[in-house]
Amino acid sequence: MDLKKRLIFSNAAIIVIPLVITFVASFIFMFVFARIHDVDISYNNVKKLTQIQYEFFKADGSVLKNSPEIILEKDYQEYISTRLDSIEADIVVLKGQERVFETRSIGPIELERCLQKTGDNLFNNIVEIQGETYMVKVIPVNFKNGESGKIVLLAPAMNDWMTTEKLLIFSIMIFVTSFTITNVVIIFTFSKKVINPLRKLQAAAGKISQGNLDFEIIEDGDAQIRELCRSFEKMRLKLVEASYTQKKYDDSRKVLFSSISHDLKTPITSIKGYVEGILDGVANTPQKVDKYLKTVHSKAVHMDRMIDDLLLYSRLDMNKVSFNIEKTDVLKYFEDCIYEIDIELEKSNIKIALYDQLKGKRYIMIDRDQIRRVIINIIDNSRKYMDKEQGKIDIFLREATSHVVIELKDNGAGISESDLPYIFDRFYRADSARDTMNGSGLGLAIAKQIIEGHGGKIWAVSRKGEGTSVMISLKKYED
Ligand X SMILES: Nc1ncnc2c1ncn2[C@@H]1O[C@H](COP(=O)(O)OP(=O)(O)OP(=O)(O)O)[C@@H](O)[C@H]1O
Relative to beta strand 391-399, strand 350-356 is: parallel
**Residue closer to ligand X, measured from CB, 177 or 432:** 432
**Residue closer to ligand X, measured from CB, 201 or 423:** 423
Whose CB is nearest to ligand X?
443
Residue 423 and residue 460 in contact, taking contact as beta carbons nearer than 8 Å: yes
441 binds ligand X, rule: CB under 6 A = yes
443 binds Mg ion, rule: CB under 5 A = yes
Minimum CB separation from Mg ion for residue 442, in Å?
Answer: 8
Q: Which stretch binds ligand X (CB under 6 A): 5-13, 267-275, 283-291, 429-437?
A: 429-437
| Binder among 442, 450, 458, 472 for ligand X (CB under 6 A) | 442
- Distance (Å, whole) CA 98 – CA 138: 15
Residue type, 403: H
Minimum CB separation from Mg ion for residue 328, in Å?
Answer: 24
Build a one-symbol-per-residue string for 336-375: x at contacts with Mg ion by CB under 5 A, - elsewhere.
Answer: ----------------------------------------
- Distance (Å, whole) CA 323 – CA 329: 17
381 binds Mg ion, rule: CB under 5 A = yes
Residue 81 and residue 56 in contact, taking contact as beta carbons nearer than 8 Å: no
Of 272, 312, 319, the C-alpha closest to 296 is 272
DSSP 412: S
Residue 446 and residue 313 in contact, taking contact as beta carbons nearer than 8 Å: yes
385 binds ligand X, rule: CB under 6 A = yes
DSSP 476: B
| Binder among 433, 451, 458, 472 for ligand X (CB under 6 A) | 433
Minimum CB separation from ligand X for residue 448, in Å?
Answer: 9
259 binds Mg ion, rule: CB under 5 A = no
What Cα–Cα distance (Å) separates residue 475 from each residue in 358, 361, 388, 403, 444? 14, 11, 34, 4, 20
The site partner of 428 among ligand X, Mg ion, none (C-beta below 5 to 8 Å per kind) is ligand X
The site partner of 430 among ligand X, Mg ion, none (C-beta below 5 to 8 Å per kind) is ligand X
Q: Starting at the earlier edge strand, list the strands of the sheet with 148-156.
A: 98-102, 90-95, 148-156, 132-142, 126-129
Minimum CB separation from Mg ion for residue 310, in Å?
Answer: 14
| Binder among 52, 412, 454, 476 for ligand X (CB under 6 A) | 412
Half-sphere exposure of 439 (CA within 13 A, CB side): 25
Positions that interact with ligand X (CB under 6 A): 309, 377, 381-382, 385, 410, 412-415, 423, 428-430, 433, 439-445, 468
Which residues make up the interface to Mg ion (CB under 5 A)? 381, 443
